[in-house]
Amino acid sequence: MPKRPRNDEEYLASKKIKHGSLETTTVLKHADQLIGCLQALKTGNDRLSDLKRLCKTLLPTFTQLAADDKAEPSEDGEIPDDADSSAPADGIKAPTFVMLTPWSPSQIATSMPPLPSIHDPTFKRAAFTHQGVCHAGDISYEKLEWIGDAYLYMLASSFIYQTFPSHSPGRSSQLRELLVKNATLAGYAKHYGLSDRANLPHEIRSTNNKDRSKIMGDMIEAYTGAVVLSDKSNGLERAATWLKSIWGMTLKQDLQKEFKQHGNSASATPASLAGPAVSSSLTPKEELANLIRVPGVTLRYEDIPCKRKDSKTSMPLFSVGVVVDGWGTKDNKLGWGTALSKKEAGQKAAAMAIANKKAIKQWIEWKQKYVAMTPPGQKPTSEEAE
């Protein structure tokens, strides 16, 4: 009996998972854009809105591919009866898409959450095994560390971007570095006792604390990679939930400061949807300029040598001083500030100058006299602070 010709829907269904299919063609068509967005996010550039548009375009395709059976259809569109749907697929399946959200006040944990489980025993063993004690054909934590590191950067970038909408890329990168740096990860590993489970060569076990700390940090990255790869359905979501919790404890002070300044807006509306943050008040630089600057009066923000490092992040600090020229005088120092960025240090310097009433009293009086003597049509307008 001749076979019934397949209709278009049946034909397309038979081509779902083959190379060059409609699904793979769609993905390849947008591959360069997708890679560009992810690379931009990793370097702190704002491409999340572009990534969201791509997700809307590609999500139906990813969903269709994820729904495909592991066995490839035959030429007539039928899956063989002896196909073993439980057999592991070749290679590693990409994890499913996960919607990440900003931190909220209720999500700042008071104690460390339990480790998420690794579902695959091979990955579980590999996450704690050094290359030096691997048997032929086995994988070590170095391989998992590589992929885990990428997930850590991606997740940290997303959480920080959405929770701190007014932060500059530089400040956001500093927060991310605090979360993913080796000292932080090694601290997590120590809490969870990963060193007791590590299978390391004897010479590494007897090495100094700095080298051991590096290995423990690597194991957190490897453990994250193992959680994701061992559970293609929920691994990424479980890893993200766990990391969000422990990272929230690490960023507790920064988060509380953000919530205090902006209420719960970060948790209510992601930065990518809310648009640029608009300040409801003047910055210290703008306020200082409004207080004392008129034509002929110049405010300068100058770098001050600083060799200190931040006690929390071990990152270099920057110092900036604010100096004013005018009314026949030069190089009048009004204040200084130190912070993790020159921009923030400059704002702190301006804030110190404003608080130093004695130092700026004369400058305010000079401006008031100038304004009083100037005809209404010639009064100076507010100038943008440097």
CA distance 323 to 332: 5
- Give how far Cα 328 sits from Cα of 118, 233, 325, 335, 363, Å: 72, 72, 8, 20, 12
Which CATH number covers residue 349?
Answer: 3.30.160.20
The pair phi, psi for residue 330, each rounded to 5°, is: -140, 155
Decide: 79 and 71 in contact? Cβ < 8 Å: yes
Domain count, the chain: 3
pLDDT surpassing 90 at residue 242: yes
- Domain membership of residue 15 (yes or no) is yes
- Domain membership of residue 146 (yes or no) is yes
- Average the pLDDT over 204-217 and give the result: 77
Q: Are residues 32 and 121 in the same domain?
A: no
Q: Are residues 293 and 372 in the same domain?
A: yes
- Domain membership of residue 75 (yes or no) is no
Domain boundary (273, 299, 317) is at: 273
Q: Are residues 268 and 305 in the same domain?
A: no
- In this prediction, residue 88 carries a pLDDT of 40
Q: Are residues 251 and 109 in the same domain?
A: yes
- Domain membership of residue 81 (yes or no) is no
Q: Are residues 317 and 351 in the same domain?
A: yes
Q: Are residues 214 and 157 in the same domain?
A: yes
Structure-block tokens of residue 65: 């591919």
Using a pLDDT cut of 70, give the percent of the chain over it: 73
8 alpha-carbon distance from chain centroid: 44
- Average the pLDDT over 193-216 and give the result: 80
Q: Name the pLDDT band for 310 (thresholds 50, 70, 90).
A: confident
Q: Are residues 250 and 324 in the same domain?
A: no
Q: Are residues 258 and 293 in the same domain?
A: no
- Domain membership of residue 79 (yes or no) is no
Q: Name the pLDDT band for 71 (thresholds 50, 70, 90).
A: very low
141 alpha-carbon distance from chain centroid: 24
In three state form, how does the secondary structure of 72-134 look? CCCCCCCCCCCCCCCCCCCCCCCCCCCCCCCCCHHHCCCCCCCCCCCCCHHHHHHCCECHHHC
In three state form, how does the secondary structure of 353-377 look? HHHCHHHHHHHHHHHHHHHHHCCHH
- Domain membership of residue 93 (yes or no) is no
Q: Are residues 104 and 240 in the same domain?
A: yes
Q: Name the pLDDT band for 17 (thresholds 50, 70, 90).
A: very low
Q: Are residues 293 and 269 in the same domain?
A: no
Q: Are residues 125 and 205 in the same domain?
A: yes
- Give how far Cα 208 sits from Cα of 184, 215, 315, 333, Å: 18, 11, 23, 48
Query: pLDDT tens for residues 136-164?
Result: 778 889 989 999 999 999 999 999 999 99
User: Which structural domain, as residue segments, surrounds residue 367?
Assistant: 284-378
Tell me the sheet residues that pair with 337. Answer: 320
The structure tokens 């259809």 sit at 73
pTM for this prediction: 0.54
Query: pLDDT tens for residues 25-67?
Result: 777 777 788 787 777 776 766 677 777 777 777 777 766 666 5
